[in-house]
């Protein structure tokens, strides 16, 4: 999963959230594992698309009270997800598909920031 | 002044020296207008923008997309002097066209995605980082003359 390494490389400021990891290089096992966790979280959001606020409550509390990720970074990660989709599905990732996914990821980001204050 | 490594200079020359301006320009601009519909506010005279299909086949939009991407020429051909190279264009966008500078970022995001779709696996993290840096510098230069 190139998603997390892509984010860490293109937007180095995001590395500040991973200072506690030993290995931030390409191919790092920690990074690959984390990519899976993030993507699974998004998969969970897809399943709960009709009530993201309720469905992502636990994740929102995690991000708000423990991780305390600045919400700007959700935009950054969302952009990286879109780039990976464009690379993986060049013909299918039409502008119409793009706007739908972007809208969805924005909603997920909003739900994740829900409990911040 | 922005510092560019040899790898960055080479990557930028490789990508922007070889893109098909018509295809990439049209795709990037139409994608911007579809994904961020509020950007259509600047295209009142461009004919039918009623839905995605109309936007994608609109010849005025396609032509303008090409113009915009050609606007990047003065950046990659003047990597060591981008600020000065964009003074005129910055004044144009601010004083004449009155474009909210946030739109530059939106267009660049769509341009990145268009390039990613074209280059596939070659558009790896390091390449994306170079493109991102380049576009951020251009966007900053374009916003400089706003007051």
Residue of A nearest to B114 (CA): A86
Tokens 């590395």 correspond to: A15
Q: What is the largest CA-CA distance in chain A?
A: 41
The DSSP symbol for B17 reads T
The interface pTM score, or ipTM, of the predicted complex is 0.85
Whole-number pLDDT of residue A114: 87
Contact flag A87-B116 (C-beta cutoff 8 Å): yes
Whether A104 contacts chain B with CB within 8 A: no
Q: Under a CB-based contact definition with an 8 Å cutoff, are residues B31 and A95 in contact? A: yes
The minimal CB distance from B109 to the residues A8, A79, A95 is found for A79
- In this prediction the pTM is 0.90
Which chain A residues touch B114 with a CB distance below 8 Å?
Answer: 86
Whole-number pLDDT of residue A1: 53
Which positions ≥6 away from A93 have C-beta within 8 Å? A82, A85, A86, B113, B117
Residue-wise pLDDT tens digits, B50-70: 999 999 999 999 999 999 999
Which positions ≥6 away from A86 have C-beta within 8 Å? A93, A98, B113, B114, B116, B117
A22 confidence band (pLDDT: 50, 70, 90): confident
Contact flag B35-A102 (C-beta cutoff 8 Å): yes
Mean pLDDT computed over B87-93: 94
The DSSP symbol for B86 reads T
The minimal CB distance from A90 to the residues B56, B120, B128 is found for B120
Please tell me which residue, A20 or B80, carries the higher pLDDT value.
B80
Disruptive mutation site among A8, A24, A72, A87 for chain B (greatest number of B CBs within 10 Å): A87
Smallest CA-to-CA distance from B120 within A91, A11, A8, A97 is with: A91
CA distance B15 to B26: 17
A27 confidence band (pLDDT: 50, 70, 90): confident
**Distance between A91 CA and the closest CA of chain B, angstroms:** 8
SS3 content of chain A, % helix, strand, coil (to 5): 75, 0, 25
Smallest CA-to-CA distance from A88 within B126, B120, B62 is with: B120
Q: What is the largest CA-CA distance in chain B?
A: 45
Does the pLDDT of residue B85 top 70, yes or no? yes
Contact flag A86-B31 (C-beta cutoff 8 Å): no
Residue of B nearest to A101 (CA): B35
Kindly report each contact of residues B139-144 with a partner whose C-beta sits within 8 Å and lies 24 or more positions away, as own/partner: B139/B101, B139/B104, B139/B105, B139/B108, B141/B75, B141/B82, B141/B83, B141/B85, B141/B86, B141/B90, B142/B86, B142/B89, B142/B90, B142/B93, B142/B101, B142/B104, B143/B90, B143/B101, B143/B104, B144/B83, B144/B86, B144/B87, B144/B90
H runs (alpha helix) in chain B: 6-16, 21-35, 52-57, 59-70, 73-76, 82-85, 87-91, 102-119, 125-143
């Amino acid at each position: 999963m190139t998603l997390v390494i892509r984010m860490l490389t293109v937007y180095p400021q995001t590395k500040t959230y991973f200072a506690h990891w030993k290995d931030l290089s390409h191919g790092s096992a920690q990074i690959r594992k984390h990519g899976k966790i993030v993507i699974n979280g998004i998969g969970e959001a897809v399943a709960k698309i009709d009530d993201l606020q309720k469905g992502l409550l636990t994740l929102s509390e995690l991000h708000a009270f423990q991780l305390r990720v600045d919400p700007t970074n959700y935009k950054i990660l969302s952009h990286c997800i879109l780039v990976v989709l464009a690379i993986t599905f060049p013909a299918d990732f039409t502008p119409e598909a793009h706007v739908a996914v972007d809208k969805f990821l924005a909603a997920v980001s909003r739900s994740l920031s829900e409990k911040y204050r | 002044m922005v510092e560019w490594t040899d790898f960055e200079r080479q990557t930028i020359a490789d990508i922007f020296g070889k893109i098909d301006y018509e295809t990439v320009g049209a795709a990037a601009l139409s994608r911007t207008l579809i994904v961020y519909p509020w950007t259509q506010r600047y295209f009142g005279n461009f004919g039918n923008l009623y839905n995605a299909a109309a936007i994608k086949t609109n010849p005025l939009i396609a032509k303008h997309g090409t113009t915009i991407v050609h606007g990047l020429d003065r950046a990659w051909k003047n990597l060591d002097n981008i600020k000065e190279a964009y003074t005129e264009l910055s004044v144009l966008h601010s004083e004449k066209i009155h474009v909210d500078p946030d739109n530059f970022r939106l267009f660049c995001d769509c341009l990145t995605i268009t390039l990613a779709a074209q280059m596939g696996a070659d558009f790896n993290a390091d390449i994306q980082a170079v493109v991102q840096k380049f576009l951020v510098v251009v966007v900053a230069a374009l916003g400089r003359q706003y007051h």
